Structure 1
Amino acid sequence: IAVVYFVVRSLVLGQVAKTDATTEPLSAVILSAPSLLAFYLRQSLFPLSIGPSYPLRAVHADVLTLANFWAPLLVVIVAAVLIAWAARQGPVQQIGAALFILPLLPTLNINAFAAEQLVHDRYLYLPLLGFLMIVVPSIVSLVQWLIHRDAPWTRLAGYGVAVVCCLLLGAQTVRYNTAWLDEVSLWAWAVKIDPTSQFNWAQYGNALTAADRPAEARAALDKSLVSLDASSTPNALINRAQIAIDEGRFNDAEADLNTVLAGQPENIQAYEQLAVAYQAAGRLNDAANILVAGRERVPYNYCSFTNNLAVIFYLGGAKDRALQELESIRSQAVDQPDPGCRAGVFHLGQLYLEQGRTLDGRAALEEYLALTRTMADDETQQFRASAQGLLSQ
């Protein structure tokens, strides 16, 4: 079954596993194998520690310790001997050994995973069946042997052990379920299990930002951005910049957002938030310039950037330029479902009314309501309410 699985996986994906997530040397791949296998053996026996990720990192020759190499190696050797012995007991155990070992082999290629994501419980879904096929027959044989001894305590002992195992596993399941109540709970759990993970701290900070807990979010995001090498760094930087804007720390926000754009020059949110930071700091020319740069760099978001640019021109008193920009994108709003693009039609209607062009203004507002009839995002709903209010006057 495992061989068929690999063949099908290779046909579908074109490869058995990714090989470009990290670039550890072959020595690290080999030296990390015992700790990975020991982890999966522990989780198969009893998941005493369970979470979205774990504090297991690549092992290098210059940092071999009892905890990260020698103890796991001893565990793996003992387990290998026991599995080999069990496989000699019958075909069920032999199939179980293959089903346990073969699907785990690709997980030993640590270069297929992010540096902080070398192991996951989900990689045990299929191997766990094989593990049970090895272990359960041996346990059954032991229980049968005890029962045949006719000692009055043996049957009760067998049942007692089974009940205790079920209770412990059930309690762990109930306990871990609390981590999945919401995003904040999940990532709070994650940073307890693996407090050295920048990815976990970034996700925790992002969740706290969404939950409107800025002080805690800032602390978490600061921990996630120590070295700027986590896979979630751009989002963490953007969220930290948003907190900085709210707190009036515009230079800090500018620094974080420019860091994002240096690595991701097509990051739309970074352009938009940098414009917000400049606007809040009273630097309207800089806000306009960054939006123009965004239009040039990310042309598929041209319409939304132009709407924001028109707002900046309006705030700076250049209402004619604002009108010109909004009129230039009016036709695009029909074909683009982006709320930011269609908001340009609303702003155009407002500007027409302000200039005394009542018929044009009402027509634009009615067009906006028609375009956004099925849109449910908060900003669109606010604009729709404002448009309806203006039309009712």
Structure 2
Amino acid sequence: MTDAPTFPGSTGTPSGRPLVTGDGLFLLVVLLAVIAAYLPSLAGGFVFDEHHLVLDNQRLGRWEEIPLAFLRLEEESAAVSHQVGTVGRYRPLPAVLGTVAWHLFKLNPLWWHVVNLALFLMIVTAVISLFRRLCPDPWVYRAAALVFALHPIHAEVVAWVALFGNTLLGLGFTLALLFHLEARRGWGVANGLVSACCLLVALFSRETALVFPLVVFVLEWIGPGREDDAPPPSAPGALWYTLPSILTVILYLVIRWYALGGNLRMTVEGGIPWTPALLTIPAVLSNYLCRLFLPVNLSPVYPVAWIGAVGDPRFWGGLMALGALGFLLLHLATPPGGDTRPARFGFAATLLTLLPFLHLRVLSIHLLEQDRYLFLPSIGFCLLLGLLFRTVVRPAVRPATGVVLLVVVAAGLGGMSFQQSRIWRDDVTLFSRAVEVSPGSSLAHQNLGMAWHIQGRLEQAEERFNHSIALGNRAAGYAGLGDVAFARGNYQAAVEAYEQALSADWNVSAALLRNLGLAYFQIGDDEQSLRTFDLLVSRFPEHPLGFLHAGLLRLSRQDHAGAIERLNTARRLDPSDFNIPYFLGEAHEALGHREEALAAYAAALALSPGFKRAQTRRQALLAGPAVLAPPVASAAPLPAVPAAKEE
């Protein structure tokens, strides 16, 4: 039996049960404060990439997609976004929980937000236990827990569902560390297995959890042994206690390798050279620390520019700011002559959990800095603040002062979180803030334009798309202008804008190709429309509307066999669309396939019992052998052009 790392400095006794903090009233107050702070998030809708991951993701409605989510990357799991799978995000558990949520709540955002808030409350409970386990001084762990629970930097994680990936990561990571500590208190085989399972939850939610063994190693190496005054264990000894988490990561990598066809698909090469990517890191880190210290003007997009030379003052400024902030944190968080290990671990944990987001070459320039990247690092940072509070305020000597200060800080942070969570209620509010904070970001203007387009505010949308083009985002900007022209019924202008987008970037989204095909159809160029839809289905073989429209055009050209092939594929991809079996029935009817036509019409009626056109044609077939002429392609449903966001 070996004592787990517990930092000295208090008379408290760590709990032997992971989720029991020992002071239930404090836990209750914190959880109620969190609910109050993030209450506006429950009134929010689906925003940002939730249009792709939730609203337009037809796979969420099929239970059979749950095992398949483990066989593909996240960007290949949203059947409507159809982004090329080069980002390397293997995150099956968010897709699984999203499928469950869809069947329970359909597309009612309230209950999705309730689930996400509940996950965050579980994380807060686990973090309180973790802080208490690491540093039992109530003035430290309570102060740290209050700041973590109410810090507005977490508004993005709480208010932005995005299939629950960030909250699943936080819950799995925190519980894995907590149960690791519990396993170290005794023989702990059961706790060790629970820790491994929690780590797998985190790994299958976000790749960020790959740094978990590093955090455990630092904790074991810095933490004390059996007695507070015992010397730190050797590196091999710390590595021994890290071995279970290393083996768990290896298991995850093996599963990922087999699931993705013998390839981890993790390596992503960015277009930015190594020199600016490395020189920009100090500025990004100092920005993160400043944002943790002073969480104001938070936004989904921040202005960041690459630093290309060592002589750039931004490089040295960021480096000096980072060094100064780090020194102050470590120095002030440690009392004179006191133990430096808690502060060193808090600082190391903050930096280690930020490591995955410092590989700047693989990140979009628009998304180099994100609030959600600070979710796990804020745990170590809040521990530092708890230590800082004990050292500077000395609440043990002046308890009344300590209590008043904690209440004031909690109220201030809670109020800021309340306001920040309101910003995430809809896309217009969210990206209006983004444009305000980062007016030079084409992403901010582009997504605000898409938000205005969804609301039918076409003039405002057009203005933002032109801003996006002026800032260098020609492909997405012209795609947006094409959507505006399409919505106005100016299909020729839509074709010209979409073609401009294609010329700017051939690797466009499926939505643009579909919209271009529809625009060609509207101006009477069926030949070019068919070519566009064929290009769509060749590049995005799981896009049901691409196959539907390609089939309808073939039907209008009397290519009934080709129409049946395309429509059968569309039906397999979207079995809920009653239009598809109806048009299949007409194609079979034109070929004289009476039984197949009757079956197809019956399938359409099963999906939509009041579908009169299907009833009429089925009754006509049952009444006699005459074959009705197939419809022209103008009978095809022309859906409204959706706002295809750039993310």
Query: Cα gap change, 1:51/1:384 in structure 2, threshold over 3 Å: closer, same or farther?
Result: farther
Q: Is the 8 A contact 2:346 2:383 kept in 1?
A: yes
Higher fraction of helix: 1
Provide closer, same or farther for how the CA distance between residues 294 and 323 of structure 1 changes in structure 2, counting only shifts above 3 A. same
**Secondary structure at the counterpart of residue 59 of structure 1:** coil
Tell me how far 1:20 sits from its aligned partner. 2.3
- Equivalent of 2:516, from 274, 278, 294? 274
Q: CA deviation at 1:197?
A: 1.8
Aligned counterpart in structure 2 of residue 118 of structure 1, from 343, 368, 392: 368
1:243: which partner in 2?
484
- In structure 2, the residue matched to 1:208 is 452
Alignment of 1:36 with 2:284, yes or no, is yes
SS at 1:61 equivalent: coil
Asked whether the equivalents of residues 326 and 344 of structure 1 are also in contact (C-alpha less than 8 Å), the reply is no
Is this contact kept in 1: 2:526–2:553, CA < 8 A? no
* Residue aligning to 1:107: 357
Matches within 5 A, 1:320-359: 321=558, 325-327=562-564, 335-337=572-574, 343-347=579-583, 349=585
Counterpart selection for 2:497 from 247, 256, 269? 256
Match of 1:89 among 338, 342, 346: 338
Tell me which structure has the larger Cα radius of gyration. Answer: 1
Distance in 1 between residues matched to 2:609 and 2:499, nearest whole Å:
30
- Structure 1 residue 175 displacement after superposition: 0.3
Q: How many residues align?
A: 363
Indicate conservation of the 8 Å contact 1:55/1:193, yes or no: yes
Tell whether the 8 Å contact from 1:104 to 1:127 is kept in structure 2 after alignment: yes
Mapped contact 1:291–1:308 kept (Cα < 8 A): no
Matched, 1:132 2:377: no
Q: Decide which of 463, 472, 478 is 1:219's aligned counterpart.
A: 463
Equivalent-residue separation in structure 2 for 1:309 and 1:286 (angstroms): 11
Aligned partner of 2:325 in structure 1 is: 79
User: What residue in structure 1 maps to residue 312 of structure 2?
Assistant: 64
Q: Distance in 2 between matches of 1:128 and 1:291?
A: 47
Change (3 A) 1:390 1:175: farther
Q: Gaps spanning 5+ residues in structure 1: where?
A: 149-153, 374-380
Q: Is the 8 A contact 1:18 1:111 kept in 2?
A: no
TM-score with structure 1 setting the length: 0.73
Instruction: Give the superposition deviation at 1:119.
Output: 1.6
- 2:445–2:467 contact (8 Å) kept in structure 1: yes
Q: C-alpha offsets along residues 228-286 of structure 1, whole Å, 9 cap, x if unaligned?
A: 558xx55x544431221232443432233234545446854333322321232233443
Cα drift, residue 118 of structure 1: 1.3
Give me the identity figure in percent: 20
Q: Aligned partners of 2:363 and 2:484: how far apart in 1?
A: 31
Aligned to 1:4: 213
Query: What is the CA–CA distance in structure 2 between the aligned matches of 1:69 and 1:258, rounded to whole Å?
Result: 41
292-301 vs 238-247, which moves further: 292-301
Following superposition, the deviation at residue 47 of structure 1 comes to: 0.7
Q: Is contact 2:588-2:594 (8 Å) kept? A: yes
> TM-score, normalised to structure 2's length?
0.48
For residue 257 of structure 1, what is the amino acid of its counterpart? Y
Counterpart CA distance in 1 for 2:565 and 2:277 is 57
CA 1:267–1:41 in structure 2 vs 1: closer, same or farther (change >3 Å)?
closer
Deviation at 1:178, TM superposition (A): 0.8
The SS at the match of 2:365 is coil
The structure-2 alpha-carbon separation of the partners of 1:241 and 1:339, relative to structure 1 and needing over 3 Å to count, comes to farther
* 1:376 match: none
Higher relative contact order (CA 8 A, sep 6+): 2
Residue 63 to residue 390, structure 1, CA distance change in 2 (3 Å): farther
The corresponding residue for 2:295 is 47
CA shift in 2, pair 1:283/1:363, >3 Å: same
Q: Give the Cα–Cα distance (whole angstroms) in 1 for the partners of residues 507 and 386 of structure 2.
A: 55
Q: What is the CA distance between 1:390 and its match in structure 2?
A: 6.6
Report the counterpart of residue 377 of structure 1 in structure 2: none
197-206 or 3-12, which moves further after superposition? 3-12
Q: Judge conservation of contact 1:57–1:118 (CA < 8 Å) in 2.
A: no
The answer on 1:387 being equivalent to 2:614 is yes
Unmatched 5+ residue regions in structure 2? 1-176, 178-210, 216-244, 258-263, 621-647
* Shift in Å, 1:189: 2.5
- Given candidates 233, 254, 273, the residue that maps to 1:24 is 273
Secondary structure of 2:280's counterpart equals helix
TM-superposed CA distance for 1:97, in Å, is: 2.3
**Structure 1 pair 78–324 and aligned structure 2 pair: CA distance change class (3 A):** closer
Tell me which residue corresponds to 1:306: 550
Separation in structure 2 between the aligned mates of residue 215 and residue 354 of structure 1, nearest angstrom: 46
AA matched with 1:176:
Q
C-alpha distance in 1, partners of 2:613/2:574?
Answer: 20
For the 8 Å contact 2:563–2:587, the answer to whether it is kept is no
